[in-house]
Amino acid sequence: SYGTLVRRFPQSGSAYTYTQRAINPHVGFLVGWSSLLDYLLLPMVNALLAKLYLSAMFPEVPEWIWVAGFVTLISLINMRSVNLVAHFNLLFVAVQVAIIAVFIYLCVRGLDQGEGLGTTWSLIPF
C-alpha cells in the first residue's frame, strides 16, 4: 500500500518513485511513463465512450455536443475543487454498484424462473 511505501521511502513522488526504490529503476521508469500515458489518454477514452453511449441513446443529438459537454463538465468539476471530484467519484461508484446489484438480481430471478435452460447452443456437450 502507499501508506507503507511512504513510511519506507519518505520522499515526494508517486508510483514511479516507489517502484524505482522498491523494485528497480528501470521498472520505475516504465511505471512513470505508463502513468503519464494513463493520465493523458484515459480522459480521451472516457469522453469517446460517453459519446458512444449517449449517441446510441439520443441519436438525434450531434456527437460533438456530447464530447464537448463531457469535457466541459469534467473540466469545471476539476477546477472547482478536489473534494467535489471525490464526491462525484463516490456517486459514480454508487451508481455502478447499484447497476451490478440490479444485474445480479435479474440474473438470479431469470435462473429461478428457468430462463436459459434447455438451449441447444450450450457449450457443455452433455
Q: Encode the chain in three state secondary structure.
A: CHHHHHHHCCCCCCHHHHHHHHCCHHHHHHHHHHHHHHHHHHHHHHHHHHHHHHHHHCCCCCHHHHHHHHHHHHHHHHHHCHHHHHHHHHHHHHHHHHHHHHHHHHHHHHHHCCCCCCCCCCCCCC
Q: What is the structure's pLDDT at 10?
A: 78
* pLDDT tens per residue across all 126 residues of the chain: 777 877 887 777 788 888 888 888 899 899 989 988 888 888 889 899 999 999 999 999 999 999 999 999 888 888 888 888 888 888 989 999 999 999 999 998 888 887 876 655 555 555
